[in-house]
Chain A
Amino acid sequence: MNISLKVWRQRNKSADGEFKTYKVEEVSPDMSFLEMLDMLNELLVKRGEDPIAFDHDCREGICGTCSMVINGRPHGPIKGVTTCQLHMRSFSNGDTIVVEPFRARSFPIVKDLVVDRSSFERIMIAGGYVSVRTGNAPDANAIPINKHDADEAFNAAACIGCGACVASCKNSSAMLFVGAKISQYALLPQGQVEAKERVLNMVAAMDAEGFGNCSNTGACEATCPKGINLTHIARLNRQYTTALLS
């Protein structure tokens, strides 16, 4: 396949960025999107040009590192996959593909397609943990947990913190991410001890990072590669209100 890539190029955080168009030829339909970018970067290096900077790590859909918006959608057009799992067969020969970094004030651009998502880390530091005694691991089945709650907590824990929810939200709201992180602890007995402080502190950290307010448009749910749904935002709101009033 031959494709045309319109990519956002920005030298550093403070520089002005612009779109540059590159022709990529003989792309295998079986290549992942990142492999196609690797191929383009090899060409750019050979030509003495600066390669396109983009984040990637595990390349198997679990690290949440690959962050880019492809044709207006975080992680591209296929539902339930990350950019590294997106294959070129999802596009057609001769397509022009627009690639942009995640856009949010709380995710400043570092270079080209790389954004700084450490704001998510600071939210996690504020309360995304449980305090447990160290030592031998207790038996996993020692505490009885309702299957529905265990499944829901697991679904929430599937969030990889990629930031696609923030990128797709017109308000750059981080509430799907925070909702998932709250849910995974709120549903389990181990998370009850710090439940109140957790939700208050994580929401305070989220606000301090400058994320927008959720207006329930559902774009985050539609673009989340791990299928995290709006129920977790409702649970976050419920937990927050309960913590406020208790």
Chain B
Amino acid sequence: MQWFIKALSTSIGKKLLVGLTGLFLCIFLVVHLYINLHLLKTDGGEEFKALAHFMGNTWAIKVMEIGLFLGILLHIIYSILITLQNRSAKAVGYAKSPNPGTSSWVSRTMIFWGLLILVFLVIHLQGIYFKYKFGSEPVDLYVLTVQVMSDPVWAIVYILSMVGLGIHLYHGFQSAFQTFGWNTPKYKPLINLVAVVFWLGIPAGFAFLPVFFAFLGGHQ
């Protein structure tokens, strides 16, 4: 066990943890989007509510939920830790703009997009999840979600946050596979292809719902 704890303090160990938790969160995004897309059905939210009930009342999912919050926490803590260490390792910057054109702006601004997603997460949990889970009065999750997404201001916040998520995943997804050591010439084209689903497909899917309810009239 000691080797495991020691490994998590090394540079590659820390990055492995960020990559693994990041991929775990990516899987969560797929499940979340699958449930969210049921909002588009014209069944008055029956299937959406049934899925939400299943997610909230199955013991295996409840265990996964704890893992999810732990995953988010570790991903954030280790990312901030790595960023602080990286800043300290550079110490002094260059007078002349360093390395013009040698690295993408996305790869240099990962922590910013990550923190933006964190702010969104707090707003999102407070606005929907906590009200549904821990609110003093019973809440119809379908009505609450549609209500939030139909508000143009919240819709814009949701859409912009999904743009941030897309940018974060654009670098983060394939970067995780580089950290795992699988970004080889053989697998790189496949990883880049799957990456498109995550950085473009998933955020676009999430963003479509507030567009649908706030700007395309919803089910009316």
**Interface residue ranges, A against B (CB under 8 Å):** 6, 8, 19, 69, 71-73, 98, 100, 103-106, 168, 170-173, 175, 203-204, 206-207, 210-219, 222-223, 230-231, 233-241, 244
Q: Is B91 an interface residue (CB 8 A)?
A: yes
Q: How many residues of B contact A (CB 8 A)?
A: 42
Pairwise interchain contact B15-A213, C-beta atoms closer than 8 A? yes
Cβ-defined contact, A98 with B96, below 8 A: yes
Q: Is B171 positioned at the interface, with any CB of A under 8 Å from its CB?
A: yes
Q: How far is the CA of A218 from the CA of B99 in the complex (A)?
A: 11
Known: A203-B11, A234-B182, A235-B181. A212 touches B86 (CB 8 A): yes
Docked-complex contact B10 and A203, CB < 8 angstroms: yes
Sample of 30 A–B contacts (CB below 8 Å): A69-B96, A69-B98, A71-B96, A72-B98, A73-B98, A73-B99, A100-B95, A168-B98, A170-B108, A173-B89, A207-B10, A212-B89, A213-B85, A213-B86, A215-B82, A216-B178, A217-B103, A217-B107, A222-B99, A222-B101, A222-B102, A222-B103, A223-B99, A231-B183, A231-B185, A234-B178, A234-B181, A237-B180, A238-B180, A241-B180
Report Cα–Cα, A104/B90, bound state, in Å.
5
User: Which among B14, B89, B100 has the greatest number of chain A C-beta atoms within 10 A?
Assistant: B89
Which of chain B's residues has its CB closest to A221's CB?
B102
Output the nearest chain A residue to B177 by Cβ-Cβ distance. A234
Provide the main secondary structure of the chain A interface.
mixed
Q: Which residues of A contact B13 (CB under 8 A)?
A: 244
- Given that A223-B102, A234-B183 are contacting pairs, would A213 and B95 also be in contact in the complex, using a CB cutoff of 8 Å? no
Bound together, the chains give a CA A8 to CA B55 distance in angstroms of 61
CB contact under 8 A between A72 and B107, given known A103-B90, A172-B89, A212-B89: no
Residue of B nearest to A212 (CB): B89
A105/B90 in contact, CB under 8 A: yes
Q: Once the chains bind, are A172 and B175 in contact (CB under 8 Å)?
A: no
User: A69, B11: Cβ atoms under 8 Å?
Assistant: no
With contacts A72-B94, A211-B89 taken as known, whether A237 is within 8 angstroms of B181 at the C-beta atoms is yes
**8 interchain residue pairs of minimum CB distance:** A238-B181, A212-B89, A171-B86, A222-B102, A217-B103, A72-B96, A237-B181, A212-B86
Measured between beta carbons, the chain A residues less than 8 angstroms from B90 are: 103-105, 170-172, 212
A210 surroundings in chain B (CB, below 8 A): 88-89
Q: Is the CB of B181 within 8 A of A239?
A: yes
B143 CB → nearest A CB, Å: 43
In the bound assembly, the distance between CA atoms of A50 and B209 in angstroms comes to 68
User: Which A residue sits closest to B79, measured CB to CB?
Assistant: A215
Chain A: minimal CB distance from B121 (Å): 22
Interface centre among A206, A231, A240 (most CB of B within 10 A): A240
| Max count, chain B CB within 10 A of own CB: residue among A71, A207, A216, A230 | A216
Q: Is B217 an interface residue (CB 8 A)?
A: no
Closest to B174 in A: A216
- Docked-complex contact B178 and A233, CB < 8 angstroms: yes
Q: A98 contacts B95, CB within 8 Å?
A: yes
